[in-house]
Every structure is written in structure tokens, then in C-alpha cells.
Amino acid sequence: MNNKMEKVISLAKQRGYVFQSSEIYGGLKSAYDYGPLGVELKRNLMNEWWRSMVHEREDVIGIDASIIMHPKVWNASGHLSGFSDPLVDCLISKERFRADKAPTPTSGDELPITCNDKGQAKQYQKSIEKRFGIKIRRNGKVLEGLRVIDDSTFGYFEKDSDDANQTFPYRGYVSPTFGSPFLSDERQFNLMFRSQLGPVDSIGDLTSFIEKNPDLKGKELRKGIEKVIKDTAVYLRPETAQAMFVQFLNCQQSMSMKVPFGIAQMGKSFRNEITTEHFIFRSCEFEQMEMEFFVEPGTQKKWLDYWRDKRLNWWKSFANNPDKFIYRAHDRDELAHYADACYDIEYEYPWGFDELEGVASRTDYDLKKHAEHSGAKLSYFDPQKQDPQTGKNGWRYTPFVIEPAAGATRGLLVYLLDAYHEETVQDAKGNDSIRKVMKIHPKLAPIKTAILPLVKKEGLPEIARDIVSNFFKAGINTKYDEQHAIGKRYRRHDEAGTPFCLTIDGQTKEDGTITIRDRDTMKQDRIPAEKALEVVKTRLGVV
């Protein structure tokens, strides 16, 4: 793993941003808990999104829908079929991949297995000999001699020979990374988490079904089982978006919204990801911030550009390095089937540029699909407009949709990476030391101010607690901290991303002043204690 990533993961645990889920039991793969600082950072990030998308706009309203929706929603949206991928394992490298996306060499094609290096090639060579009984030729890091014979067979050929030494069943494709044709059976994976609604245990129903039908096998058995569980099967939502389509009419009518308008939602989504990677970048349980913006057909391009720029600038506005945020247009062959255009807002992670948010022009696909499956009339009537077909006043149409869909937990990772800084500073003895500091934007910082009495005596804690209580009343997340020497406390709050430390010292009792220390510059100013709240509010940008 990349060095910076390792440092951020380690600090995230040490300081209470993100923990591995159920760590004391060995941890649950790809599930994470947001600790005391992480929960604050995530909430601040999501609240800022809500402020910018809902509170500061007249044309966007919010909802908070159920995570479990009617199973027909997922039929209509295509998730029940589209989220079921045929997956295969390479028996040699253990790589797991989607069968429908794998390379497909045809009759007569050579099937070289290209390894990362010679050592790996030797290892795979041994494994093939042990498992399949062929002494495959090696040329450096490439294993040679395999060739496609026909649609369903491949063979191993000695050098310059046209007769196969040995033949094997061919699946029609090879593993994407190494090109191996030694593959497991295809297995169906469903990316949606399935559960059941109702207290009756479906395992009981399944057991009696299987007992009553002992002759059923394979596909027939699967079909029967699916029928038994179908009535109670429900799914955890894999995206927050569908609720906005399903509640389009209720929202539009209850709030008398006029197109163009948007419906926003943020919250948990769940996906049984094939690969979980890069810490919280891709996990099975995560949070999204999505908005469906309904527009008149024909205006989608203008609105797509508008939301792309708006969202990119929003991400940049909290960043130390705004240049690390870019947008990238999807190529035609990358577009989801429902989209006529799409941009990814990307961040330069330690492994390179990768997705942070998608801004998609989803056409009228979703509303039309839900109208078709539910029978509801999911359209909009504009009395001011002429119907372009009839030329008459008043136009009923299915709105097109622009969807900015962001990951909140992925955004949190981005801002942890953006915030992480190491600086060489001099300690009290004049020696160089490394200061780790999380330069988190003050609006997102988990703790806004730390109030620190220099010593735990001489009335300083009492003065400090008075200031703390003022800050509490003003709704500013503040921590009282008297543990350890002052230098250590500053370092602790540097790593917590606390923008300001207020220190109460001997002079406070003489002239009523305290120091305010800036996290990023480490500069300290003396200010009147009674003005502390006002100064901090101004510096935080909340007045």
C-alpha cells in the first residue's frame, strides 16, 4: 500500500477517525466504524452538502426514505438483473473477475499466461503441473504453449507441434490480468444484500420445499427456491437515488415544485462489492449524498454542465489542494445504459485519479421505468409551455434527470488525504521533530476549539470551564483538555484537526487575556478572554 495511505489509516485509528469494524473479533472485512472524530467529520461534511444542495436553494427539496424499499423498485430500476454478475475465479492466480468483461481469444489464438515476474511464473508453472499434469513451457515471465482449439476446447502444444499434448474445456474467455484459461465455474453474485420481511423464518419454508421435491436439481431447484423466498425477499438499497424517482409525484405535489427542481437525499447504501479496496474508498456499507434534478427534455446538456461545475467547485472549496480535483467525461462505451452523458468528478488519490462523484444525465429512463412497472403517472404538466408535438398550450412530459451522486464516506477519505501534512519543526530543546497536522477545513473540523488551562491549579481550570460553557451555548463543538504538557496537547489537537487552541495561563488572571493558537501556522495571539467566542466565530467564518 502507498506510504501516505498507510500513514492516514494509522492516524485515523490512533486519533479516533476510523476503526476496523468489530476489531476485537478479528475485524469484519470491508466494514468500518467512524470513531469520535470520524463521526463529527462525516456529519459536518454531510451537513455542508445538505446546506449547499437543499437549504441554500429554492429549487431543491430533501427526503429521508427507507433503506428497505418495495422489491419491485429494484426490478424496475434494473438492479435485480443488472447487479447480478457472473463471476469466475482463476484457478492459478485466484483472481476473481466478471465473466462478461473478460478478454475472449478465439480458435487458433495463443493463450500466453503473462506473470508479473519470473518468480511468479515459476510458481504458476508448478501449480499448473500439480493441478493439470502439464509441464508448461516458460519463457521469462511468460508461460507458453496453450492455444484455443475451438469454442469449447483449448490445448497444450509442445514447441512447433500441431498436435495437442492434452486438451481442456474452454470457457470462451481468459482471466483479464494474466490471461489464464484455467478457470472455476461461473457463479452468480448479487451485489444487493438480500434479507426477508416478516418474522417467518424462510429457512423453514426452504427446508420443507426441498424435502417435498427431492428430485429437483440444478436450475430447476434454484427456480423453486427463488419462488419460495420471492414473497418475503427484500433488499438493502444499493443507492439512495431510487427513492427520489419513486417519490417524485408526492414531493412535487406536496411542495408545489415547478420543473426544473431537485430532490436530495443522503444516507446509507449497501453493496456486496466484488472487490473492496483502499480502506473506506470501496466498502460494502457506505454513505451517499445524491440529488435527482428534474428538467425539461432538451435542457439536460445545460444542466449537466451546471451541476458538474457546481459540484466540482464545492469539493474544491474545502480543500488544501484544489488542483487535485478534476472532472472527466465518460467515453461512449463507458456510459451506463440509461445515461446520454456523464462526468466523473475525480480526486488524485495515492494510487492515481479515481472517482469521487458521478454527475450523470440519466434521461427520462428512471421515471419511465417506474411509471411502466407501477402504473403511476410519473409525468409533469407545464401549463405555460406549448406541446412541441401538437402546438397546443400546455405540455405534459416525463422530465429528464441530472444526477450528482457523491460518496460521503469516500469524500471523508479524500479530505483525510488532503488534510494530512508532515512538517519539520523545532521542539522546546531546539531539536528537529516531525509535526503531523490534519489541515481540515474549519467548517469540517471535528472539534472547532480546544480550551486548555496551562496547569490544573491556581484557578485556571475554572476560568477555562467558563469559556467552554460559553462555547457550548453558542453550539461550537469544543473540548476541555488538561491532560499532559501543553506541547503534547497542541500536537494532539494538530492531529485531531482542531483549528484553534485557547490557552489559559498565569497572565490570564492578571489581565484577563488568553492565547489563541492557529493550527496551521502555529502562531499565537493574545486576546481578551471575554472576546474569545467572537474571535473564534470570526476565524471559523460563522459570523
The footprint of ligand GAP (CB under 6 A) covers: 239, 241, 271, 273, 282-283, 286, 288, 290, 355-358, 403, 405-407, 409-410
Least distance to ligand GAP, CB of residue 335, Å: 12
Residue nearest to ligand GAP (CB): 407
Q: How many angstroms separate the CA atoms of 78 and 372, rounded?
A: 13
CB nearer to ligand GAP: pick between 181 and 238: 238
CB nearer to ligand GAP: pick between 414 and 463: 414
DSSP-derived secondary structure for 444-480: T-S-SEEEEESSS-TTHHHHHHHHHHHHHHTT--EEE
Strand order in the sheet with 478-480: 478-480, 449-453, 500-504, 513-518, 524-528
CB nearer to ligand GAP: pick between 146 and 266: 266
In three-state secondary structure terms, 267 is strand
Least distance to ligand GAP, CB of residue 194, Å: 17
Least distance to ligand GAP, CB of residue 176, Å: 20
Q: Is 49:266 a contact under the CB 8 Å cutoff?
A: yes
Q: How many angstroms separate the CA atoms of 232 and 239, rounded?
A: 21
**C-alpha 461: how far from chain center:** 43
Least distance to ligand GAP, CB of residue 5, Å: 15
CB nearer to ligand GAP: pick between 65 and 216: 65
Least distance to ligand GAP, CB of residue 272, Å: 9
CB nearer to ligand GAP: pick between 362 and 519: 362
Record the cell numbers describing residue 215, joined without a space.
Answer: 428430485
Least distance to ligand GAP, CB of residue 191, Å: 9
What b/e readout covers 22-56, taking b as 16+ CB neighbours within 10 angstroms? eeeeeeeebebebbebbebbbebbbebbbebbbee
Q: Which helix (H) or strand (E) holds 211?
A: helix 202-212
Record the cell numbers describing residue 233, joined without a space.
Answer: 425477499
Q: Is 263:378 a contact under the CB 8 Å cutoff?
A: no
Least distance to ligand GAP, CB of residue 374, Å: 19
CB nearer to ligand GAP: pick between 275 and 389: 275
CB nearer to ligand GAP: pick between 266 and 533: 266
